[in-house]
Structure 1
Amino acid sequence: MTYDVIVIGAGVSGSAVARELSRYEAEILVMDRADDVCCGTSKANSAIVHAGYDCMPGSMMARMNVRGNEMMEPLARDLDVPFERTGSLLVCTSKERLGGLRDLFERGAANGVPGLKIISGDEARAMEPQLTDAVVGALWAPSAGIINVFLLNIALAENAFTNGVDFHFNTRAERLWQDEGGVWHIRTNNGEYRTRAVINAAGVYADRLHNMVSATRIHITPRRGEYFLLDRTTAGYVRHVVFPQPTELGKGVLVTPTVDGNTLVGPTAFDLADDQRDDVETTQAGLDTIREKASENLRDLPLRQVITSFAGLRAHEDRHEFVLGHVEGAPGFYDCAGIESPGLTSAPAIGEYLGGMIKDDLGLSSKDVWVHTRTGTVDPSLLTLAERNELIRREPAYGQIVCRCESVSEGEILDAIRRPLGARDLDGVKRRVRAGAGRCQAGFCSPRVMDILSRELGLPLEEIRKSGGASRIVVGRTKEVQGQ
């Protein structure tokens, strides 16, 4: 068949575009080289909804950031995704740099960011008592917030799927060309696809796809950022997102609460070579940098409560700008490239922008019925005791705790596997219901979760993976019982 639209990349931007296009009468496919949504840049970032004061006025980044921030609260409500508008403090530790706060304030005002205010160091410490005495001022941005990035990405994809969008995983785009009739052909490891329009949302690989079809080149540098994740016992250490003043490499090492009660510290910013686009290792130097930089703004960082460290990659385009829309010399090919910070915040607006453009270009008509809401997995901890007891009476699996650190029941894990675009590996379960995300980092619950995945998917334990690909956990059986 020939699709109307194929989206390459099932990250938060690609999924947002797919959901927006699902409003219309069209055959739409999302393909991704991984075995699940949210497996690239979108799974490893700061999970912050930025206010939009640091983007250059008039840029696509500024436009998408402010609009995306505006859209996020109603979208999170519709899709049942945890979101908190905590506000952020960008702190200054040098009187000589106070002018930089004024510059960012004026830039934010030009971008239309609401509620910005420059406050003194004492006012900032009244809001965040752990700020050091070196803090002499701060830029307060009340519209900033925090969100569960995994669930946002998953919810966008699930809602698109509910509205008829196809998803093909483990499908890697290898070559693209357009025939004389204007139809695009995409050669993949799983065969050839045909479509009227292509959306290039391939993250750190988006420049390679763009450069296959256009003489106007773009270049993306994979920029690695490393993080510490702290245990839930640190909840309340900070109540707002705390930023340092930014540099040319990004927003710097921040400290933020998460919607799940953890504290996140990072990221670093280290540019990698073109052949390192999958390099998400953590380094001693990077983690030491986080300790040093974060301690410049906050005292008594509870780093003895680190439960894991991780790294992600940002798709840094050379001009530090989102590359969105039509591509010169390639009619029907649309870029969604260079999506680095504030890409998460901007995703709803990117979906709206590209979805509207493609709808007009292809002449798509609106559906009579479009489902704009989605219900997430049941969280028994949010129920009253009577409601929880009734749930367990109806579904006994909700009374069987599998992950002790996060109090995740078998019922929640079953829901994560059985729901639209359900989990297929351990990390897929973790992203959906947090089994394995706690203090022991899956040390105790992995065998039980593997048993459930094996049973539900009809796969032997040897085929259950941590995160797709070759990440098998069981490599063989130590004993075989013969004749049984």
Structure 2
Amino acid sequence: MTYDVIIIGAGVTGAAVARELSRYQTEVCVLEKEEDVCCGTSKANSAIIHAGYDAEPGSNMAKMNVRGNEMMDELCRDLDIPFKRNGSLVVCVHKEELPGLKELYDRGIKNGVPGMKLLTREEALAMEPNISDDVQGALFAETAGIICPFKLNIAMAENANVNGVDFRFNTRVEKITKEADGLWHIRTCNGEYKTRYVVNAAGVYADVLHNMVSEQKINIIERRGEYYLLDRTVGNHVSHTIFPQPTKYGKGVLVAPTVHGNLLVGPTAIDQEDKDATNTTQLGMNEITAKASENVRNLPLRSVITSFSGLRAHEDHHEFILGEVSDAPGFIDCAGIESPGLTSSPAIGEYIAELLREKMGLTAKENWISTRKDVLDPKKLSLEERNELIKQNPAYGQIICRCESVTEGEILDAIRRPLGARSLDGVKRRTRAGMGRCQSGFCSPRVMDILSRELGLPLTEITKSGGKSNIVLEHSKEVAE
């Protein structure tokens, strides 16, 4: 198959590039090695929209962070994505480190970050009573926010798909070469593709793809971050995102509410050499507890409902690598996209699409669709509206996930919509079925039944997250016989 542009990777960066390119009259395809969008770094992160004071002034990180933050309100309104500007506090607990807050503030001013303020001890405690009694001061950033990273990724991908972008899942890239016909030839585990331009948005694998085509090698370090997620009963322990002062390993262990009412604590920062290892460890959990407790007191850790980890694509120079590779014309890098990558993704999409528009002479579509509606959530309706909905479609009256009150109607919507769910995790990311206190202990068999029925597959072929993550291996009756 031949395309004008092939994007490798369907995380937030690849989805953002795809959506922006879908504005133009061009043939675009996204290749993703997993079974769905949002299966890598984009599914396991801090879910934070950063203000932009941390990145080095003039860097790609700084520019994309600030621009991405500016774009977020309109993007989330257009694509129906849960988003809240709750503001953030960088907390200083050692008096001798107070000058570091002023350095962050000055850096933010250089980066063009609005709405910052240096707070005294008394002002910080008045704003956030559960921060440490040792607080000496804090940096407040009003433009910081919290978001649902799954919904951001899925929404941009769905919108791109509706506007004509093809998505190919379970398609791992094995080799990329530039052939005599001037096209890039991409060999995958699922067929071969040709394209005029390649956009490398492969997360922790971006260096592998880049180094296939360029003599100017780059190196991505897989930096693992572990997290606790707490029950919604303690989600109001803090109302702002609470950061420690940053170090060379990142922004540190944060404590933050989520847009769904939970409390998130983490991450650690552990460099490793395995691009797929997302295990959690007792050592990591202990580190989260100790470091978070330095800035927030009385953390209700008895209300932990799950722990998880994700990988950050840390580039050696701690910078986003964006643009055409000088010795590989037509190969466009989006590499080293770690924090603040989630915040920056819309801006990176805009930047790469504009670069390709100029190179390819692209023409805007007259009928581009800018909006998208999320899976309908009956809980947001009035009682009268909900009753009418159930009357018209009884599936919305069948509760499948008790913890999150997710109905069969929502799950059917998640499966049937563009780029619909094909696994338990796919349903979870789109509806939250399985994200509550019991962590799918009750609802997973019922969700599997719905997936089996809708996809026309036996239960033995329904997976947790694609690949070999089958849950039912065989029928017990057959085993007994």
TM beyond 0.5: yes
Report the Cα distance in structure 2 between the residues aligned to 1:269 and 1:317, rounded to whole angstroms: 14
Q: Which secondary structure state, in structure 2, belongs to the residue aligned with residue 37 of structure 1?
A: coil
Asked if residue 141 in structure 1 is aligned to residue 141 in structure 2, the reply is yes
Report the Cα distance in structure 1 between the residues aligned to 2:72 and 2:291, rounded to whole angstroms: 30
Q: Which residue of 2 aligns with 1:103?
A: 103
TM-score with structure 1 setting the length:
0.98
Q: Which residue of 2 aligns with 1:130?
A: 130
Counterpart amino acid of residue 170 in structure 2: N
Q: Which secondary structure state, in structure 2, belongs to the residue aligned with residue 252 of structure 1?
A: coil
Asked if residue 447 in structure 1 is aligned to residue 445 in structure 2, the reply is yes
Q: Which moved more, 1:60-69 or 1:115-124?
A: 115-124
Pairing 1:245-264 to 2, within 5 Å after superposition: 245-264=245-264
Q: Which secondary structure state, in structure 1, belongs to the residue aligned with residue 476 of structure 2?
A: coil
Report the Cα distance in structure 2 between the residues aligned to 1:289 and 1:121, rounded to whole angstroms: 26
Report the Cα distance in structure 2 between the residues aligned to 1:380 and 1:219, rounded to whole angstroms: 46
Report the Cα distance in structure 2 between the residues aligned to 1:307 and 1:246, rounded to whole angstroms: 27
Asked if residue 75 in structure 1 is aligned to residue 75 in structure 2, the reply is yes
Report the Cα distance in structure 2 between the residues aligned to 1:430 and 1:7, rounded to whole angstroms: 25
Q: Which residue of 2 aligns with 1:391?
A: 389
Asked if residue 458 in structure 1 is aligned to residue 456 in structure 2, the reply is yes
Q: Which residue of 1 aligns with 2:471?
A: 473
Q: CA deviation at 1:328?
A: 1.5
Report the Cα distance in structure 2 between the residues aligned to 1:302 and 1:468, rounded to whole angstroms: 34
Report the Cα distance in structure 2 between the residues aligned to 1:413 and 1:321, rounded to whole angstroms: 39
Pairing 1:263-302 to 2, within 5 Å after superposition: 263-273=263-273, 276-302=274-300
Q: Which residue of 1 aligns with 2:48?
A: 48
Q: CA deviation at 1:481?
A: 11
Report the Cα distance in structure 2 between the residues aligned to 1:389 and 1:442, rounded to whole angstroms: 26
Match of 1:336 among 322, 334, 337: 334
Counterpart amino acid of residue 276 in structure 2: D
Q: Which residue of 1 aligns with 2:322?
A: 324
Residues 461, 363 of structure 1: alpha-carbon distance in 2 compared, 3 angstrom cutoff: same
Q: Which secondary structure state, in structure 1, belongs to the residue aligned with residue 167 of structure 2?
A: strand
Q: Which residue of 2 aligns with 1:347?
A: 345
Report the Cα distance in structure 1 between the residues aligned to 2:78 and 2:228, rounded to whole angstroms: 31
Q: Which residue of 1 aligns with 2:8?
A: 8
Report the Cα distance in structure 1 between the residues aligned to 2:450 and 2:401, rounded to whole angstroms: 12
Q: CA deviation at 1:28?
A: 0.4
Q: CA deviation at 1:480?
A: 4.5
Q: Which residue of 1 aligns with 2:311?
A: 313
Q: CA deviation at 1:2?
A: 1.6
Q: Which residue of 1 aligns with 2:221?
A: 221
Pairing 1:59-208 to 2, within 5 Å after superposition: 59-208=59-208
1:224-248 Cα shifts (integer Å, max 9, x gaps): 0000000010121110000000010
Q: CA deviation at 1:14?
A: 0.3
Q: Which secondary structure state, in structure 2, belongs to the residue aligned with residue 187 of structure 1?
A: strand
Pairing 1:28-43 to 2, within 5 Å after superposition: 28-43=28-43
1:366-424 Cα shifts (integer Å, max 9, x gaps): 11110000001111011000000000000000000000000000000000000000000
Report the Cα distance in structure 1 between the residues aligned to 2:159 and 2:132, rounded to whole angstroms: 44
Report the Cα distance in structure 1 between the residues aligned to 2:426 and 2:234, rounded to whole angstroms: 25
Q: Which residue of 2 aligns with 1:356?
A: 354
Report the Cα distance in structure 1 between the residues aligned to 2:8 and 2:229, rounded to whole angstroms: 30
Q: CA deviation at 1:71?
A: 0.2
Q: Which stretches of structure 1, 4 residues or longer, exceed 3 Å deviation after superposition?
A: none
Report the Cα distance in structure 2 between the residues aligned to 1:418 and 1:181, rounded to whole angstroms: 40
Q: Which secondary structure state, in structure 2, belongs to the residue aligned with residue 479 of structure 1?
A: helix
Report the Cα distance in structure 1 between the residues aligned to 2:123 and 2:201, rounded to whole angstroms: 42
Structure 1 unaligned runs (5+)? Answer: none
Q: Which secondary structure state, in structure 2, belongs to the residue aligned with residue 435 of structure 1?
A: coil
Q: Which residue of 1 aligns with 2:399?
A: 401
Q: Which residue of 1 aligns with 2:434?
A: 436
Q: Which secondary structure state, in structure 1, belongs to the residue aligned with residue 37 of structure 2?
A: coil
Structure 2 unaligned runs (5+)? Answer: none
Q: CA deviation at 1:181?
A: 2.9
Report the Cα distance in structure 1 between the residues aligned to 2:159 and 2:191, rounded to whole angstroms: 27
Report the Cα distance in structure 1 between the residues aligned to 2:96 and 2:157, rounded to whole angstroms: 47
Q: CA deviation at 1:436?
A: 0.2
1:3-23 Cα shifts (integer Å, max 9, x gaps): 000000000000000000000
Match of 1:410 among 408, 411, 426: 408
- Equivalent pairs: percent with the same residue? 68
Q: Which moved more, 1:446-455 or 1:124-133?
A: 124-133
1:270-308 Cα shifts (integer Å, max 9, x gaps): 0001xx100000001000000000000111100000000
1:206-262 Cα shifts (integer Å, max 9, x gaps): 001001111111000000000000001012111000000001000000000000000
Report the Cα distance in structure 2 between the residues aligned to 1:136 and 1:341, rounded to whole angstroms: 26
CA RMSD of aligned residues (A): 1.1
Report the Cα distance in structure 2 between the residues aligned to 1:199 and 1:211, rounded to whole angstroms: 14
Report the Cα distance in structure 2 between the residues aligned to 1:467 and 1:302, rounded to whole angstroms: 30
